[in-house]
Amino acid sequence: MNKLLMLSCALVLTACVSTGNSPAEQRAEIQAMSTKVKNDVYKESASAKNLVSKSAGYAVFSNAQINLLFIAAGGGYGVVHNNASGANTYMNMGEAGVGFGLGVKDFRVLFVFKTQKALNTFVNEGWAFGAEADAAVKSGNKGAQISHGITIGDITVYQLTENGLALQATVKGTKYWENSELN
């Protein structure tokens, strides 16, 4: 069990690091991921593209999450785009939670901020709390996912599972913070 926990923590920490070498390469990689995730969401939800274009801004994150019985942990990276100013803020994220769960999941999240205040609060304070019930079995283009999250405030959330096998029901807190090397 100890080795499994150590391996799980290593996977989560690895997920927090972008693979590009220079800051410019890392930013380009994150932008490419952001574009792909938005396009994938637009295919799944006809109204998402209109919602993003009329919003104060959006954020896209790449995440890895591990659930071991009663503990959940995760990490990732992404970008927040302010539609009014055109500015991008590159960020990291980490999460921890409690509840019942087992599995590992690699997923992408698109946050759509309906107000400038919601976007600013996300960038400046970076905390999110919620509950999640999730079942995912996916490898590449095969498999399926069922995800339901609780969103508070003026934020709409779309989640896409890339790969993973997970069954969980957790309450968790997530911290988002600016990546000082990329901003």
Q: How far apart are CA 113 and CA 131, in angstroms?
A: 19
pLDDT tens digits, residue range 143-157? 444 343 445 678 888
Could you write out the DSSP letters of every residue in 29-47?
A: HHHHHHHHHHHHHHHH-TT
- Hey, CA dihedral for 175, 37, 32, 115, is it positive or negative? negative
Tell me what pLDDT residue 7 has.
41
The overall pTM is greater than 0.85: no
d(CA 21, CA 26): 7
Which residue do the tokens 């959330």 mark?
Answer: 157
- For residues 182 and 26, is the Cβ–Cβ distance under 8 A? yes
- Asked if the model's pLDDT at residue 139 lies above 60, the reply is no
Average pLDDT of the chain, as a whole number = 77
106 pLDDT band, cuts 50/70/90, is confident
What are the DSSP calls for 150-182, one per residue?
Answer: ---SSEEEEEEEEEEEEEEEEEEEEEEEE-TTT
Q: How far is CA 60 from CA 82, 98, 114, 128, in A?
A: 12, 24, 15, 15
Q: Tell me: pLDDT of 48 over 50.
A: yes
